Structure formats: structure tokens, C-alpha cells
Amino acid sequence: MSASLVLFDIDGTLTRGVGPHHLIALERAVHQVTGVAAPIEGIPVHGMLDCIILAEMMRAAGIPHADAERAMPDIIEAAQVLYLADMIPDLRGKRCPGVPDILEELARRDVLLALVTGNLTRIGWHKLSKAEIHHHFRFGAFGEMAPTRGELAKLAIQQARREGLIGPQSKISLIGDSVNDVIAAQHAGIQSIAVRTGITPLEDLHAATPDVLLDDLTRLDPAII
């Protein structure tokens, strides 16, 4: 049983600038399943769950809501298959500053690490595998598992408790680069740690009032975890 659980976002927090493969897979999946071209251009993606992005793509393309809902499970499956079939490059050079050093340090301190991300499950794991940091994480809550990031955080916490990995007094933190990560931590009642390694403007992160705001993970003091 660990005294601490840390939940990590992926894009902009653990990795950045990983290329267009993820978003292309979402576009191709919608077209493959529905036969309708639904461009992702103009759709907000930063800090969003993949399922929300897909729903917005289909809405903008004029696909009726009921049809989009029926197609969503097949689109989710297709997007993951397409991403894993793509030639994803080595992403070790796309790790954010401080990664994987902080992950290794937290592991040495027996901190339990898990993921809370908008990525679909197999996309998220494959991305981290290509960055060679997947092995640091025990499990994850992914973009198809709940309608909001806050609910994903709660799912991850529930899993850790259900499996006896943390106790009632264990400290829990969520680290992310977007306002939605901060809101998710607040929604789940846990410590929010924001990092400026994504594209969120500093003033927006300040306005979200995270418990801790860092330039990057090289500045994370393990003592606060």
C-alpha cells in the first residue's frame, strides 16, 4: 500500500510535440465508420477527452446526434486500431523536461503512479510505450471511460482503493498542463499540480488556482507528493 498516488496527464505533461498521428487517427476513424468527412480543424482539442473531440467533429460535420452516438463505439475502436497500425516514431525525444527522471524518483519513493488522460486507452499506452515511460504507470483512466476529466480522476482513485494500492490517508495529486486538469483535480478533491509545458497561457493556469504551479517537472519537489 502506497502513501501517495500521483495521476498524470499525457499530452503536454509527459510528452509534447508528438506529431499529428493521433488526430489523423480520429479523423480517419470517423470517415471509416460513418462515410462522412469530419475534419478536426477548428475543433478544440487541448485538454479535451477524445470522445468529446469526436462528438464535436461529427456535430460540425452535420452528423445527427443519434447517429453519432450509435457510431461512437465503432469509431473509438477504429481510431485505436488505426493509431497502432501507423508508423509512430520513437518519442523518447518528445518527453517533457524532467521526464523520466521524476518518474524514476517517485518510483524510488514507492509512490503509486497512474494516468488520467483524454487519450483513448490503446492510443495513450502506445504513445507512452514509444516514449519508453509506460512501465512507470500501474493503470490509467482514459478518454472513453467517463464524460469528464474529473470523473476519470475519480475512477482512477476508486481503482487504487479497490485494489488496496492506497489507504484512506494516502495523499493524492493530479499533474497536468491544462485548466481542465486543474478543474479535474478540484472536482475529485485532490491536490492539483499544473505545469507550463503545454500550450495553456500562464494567466489561464493562474486563474484556475492550482495548488502548485511549476514551469516544468524538473521543478517538482517530491516532498509535496
pLDDT along the chain (225 residues), means of 10: 97 97 98 98 95 98 98 98 97 98 97 98 98 98 98 98 97 98 98 98 98 98 96
**DSSP designation for 15:** B
The model's pTM is 0.96
Spatial distance between the Cα atoms of 142 and 123, rounded to a whole number of angstroms: 9
Supply 126's cell numbers.
Answer: 502506445
Q: What share of the chain is helix, strand, coil (3-state, %, to 5)?
A: 45, 15, 35
CATH fold of 2-18+91-224 reads: Rossmann fold (3.40.50)
3-state secondary structure of 176: strand
Alpha-carbon span 175 to 192, nearest angstrom: 6
Question: Which of 76, 68, 181 lies closest to 122, judged by CA?
Answer: 76
Could you state, in order of their start, the residue ranges of all structural domains in the chain?
A: 2-18+91-224, 21-85
| Residue-level pLDDT at 222 | 96
Residue 151's H or E segment, with its range, is helix 149-162
Distances (CA, A) of 218 to 10, 104, 169: 16, 12, 27
Alpha helices in 10-110 (DSSP H): 21-34, 50-60, 65-85, 101-108
